[in-house]
A and B are shown apart, each in its own frame.
Chain A
Amino acid sequence: MDVFLQQLINGLSLGGIYALIALGYTMVYGIIELINFAHGDVYTLGTFFSLAILTLLGVTGIVTGPALIVVVAVTILGAMILCGLTGVIVERLAYRRLRNAPKLAPLITAIGMSFILENLMLYWHGPSPIPFPAVIPNPAVGLGSVTIQAKQIMVIVLAVVLMVVLQVFVYNTKLGKAMRATAQDKDAAQLMGININTTIALTFLIGSALAGAAGFVSGVYYGSTWFLNGFAAGLKAFTAAVLGGIGNLAGAMLGGFLIGLTEAMTTQFISDQWSNVVVFSVLVLVLIFRPTGLLGESLPNKV
């Protein structure tokens, strides 16, 4: 039981990272039906940007006291802004002109963008793993034989806070409503007076900013990164988005946590090496019984 609880905590923190990345996949897919293969790399860039900001701030290890809050806030916000801008630039340069092209064209372009970002990061930090400073003190709180590390709490809290903010934005603001309208019918959205270029750019900004936050968290969580870090994480986050129902925000969050939990449990009760097999088996099983994913709607667009 204790082992189970322990893995529950581990799985939730892992899942928080996947969920944050999955949101970007699902938002972009929801609005322009593109699987943005470069998104996993934007997440890695988030870790790289965080590292650069920490270096600028002179942080090389653990920070304590009030300075900790400032450092964490500045780094997360900085990584979110820089990743958000990266996403906007990628959309503007690569995807926008292909919006009315056959679906394969933007897809291939996305794969190309992924290679470009990976190679930029390779050039930036080389091919080896890069250490990431611990930043936050990491006392472990013991609950019986279960230990919760401070950084795990940080991941879960940050993920949940960002998700709540996103949910409020999308469902309770005018811009959020414009985003949903654009996702559902671009012509109609324009006829309402919505500038869909702005709305789509905003979607990339937000999705990529969330990946930036995940990038910071993952640096702290794992203590290292490298230029291809986003490949596996991106694939799992994408799986999470599909599992939850691509295009659906709540689905991406649920999917992210489920994938994190599945991975943690498999690692504990079966073996490390089986975790990917189990994760993708879960995906396949869910899709057999619910092709639209767990929370995906299958409401017809035309009645």
Chain B
Amino acid sequence: MALLEVENLVARYGRITALDGIALTVEQGEIVTLIGANGAGKTTTLRTISGLVRPAAGTIRFDGRDISKLAPNDIVRAGISHSPEGRHVFPRMTVRENLELGAYTRTAKSEIAEDTEQVLGIFPRLRERYEQKAGTMSGGEQQMLAIARAMMSRPRLLLLDEPSLGLSPILVQTIFGVIRDINARGTTVLLIEQNARQALAVAARGYVLEVGRIAHSGAAAELSASEAVRAAYLGGAA
């Protein structure tokens, strides 16, 4: 049984159908990527999984349990954490407070302290900014904070929406390194990227979304090699 199983998922904004019956699975321990053009429905997919958008139809099973009717706060407790598009750090709170909120669902103080140390080890920059208000930090720093904060709930499944958006090339490398690292420590990852080449390089499998439907899916290497995917998402070059 897959950790996450999405079947026939439909999501609408008023009369706009953003997801028109998609299916995908994520196995325990995998990195799976969801790629596609702007407006394809990638963000909506993650927002529906984490409960911010109510599905119009379909099921979302996490660890065998239907979570499609749960509120977002209960979905976090079930073990899914979502680092949203656009970072959404709490701007008038410090790095410390943002991380504390990431651990909102947890109570064991010593474990929280351990995890805080761990994420500060991964992102030393956040340690330097520990008592600084998140709204005053650079985009890259905020992105690190968003990922670190999402890790603080000790999720089984981490949803990452365009974590490399707007970052410098060096920082993009760092972020992808971190994603590998997080995965190596046992967290399953569902990753959205516009940077399809990079995403397919870290992921085991991928899905290609086109206007609300899954157009292609398969092993990352296959997708990278496929003519159709290359032409549309990898800039055509060999």
Contacts and interface: CB of A to CB of B under 8 A. Distances in A.
Do chains A and B interact in one complex? yes
Interface of A: 174, 177-178, 180-181, 184-185, 187-196, 297, 299-303
Contact of A194 (B89, B97, B104): B104
Interface string B148-171: 011001000000000000000000
Interface string B94-106: 0001001110110
A191 B90 CA distance: 12
B142 interface: yes
A196 B92 CA distance: 18
A273 B127 CA distance: 57
Nearest to B90: A184
With most chain B CB atoms within 10 A of its CB, the pick from A177, A192, A196 is A192
A185 B101 CA distance: 12
A177 B90 CA distance: 11
B72 A184 contact: no
B196 to A, nearest CB: 25
B213 interface: no
Interface residues of B, number: 34
B211 to A, nearest CB: 24
B100 A191 contact: no
Contact of B135 (A181, A190, A193, A299): A299
Nearest to B82: A191
Nearest to A297: B92
Contacts of A184: 90-93
Contacts of B153: 192-193
Contact of A303 (B71, B105, B135, B149): B135
Contacts of B100: 177
B135 A191 contact: no
A27 B128 CA distance: 32
Contact of A191 (B81, B86, B93, B133): B81
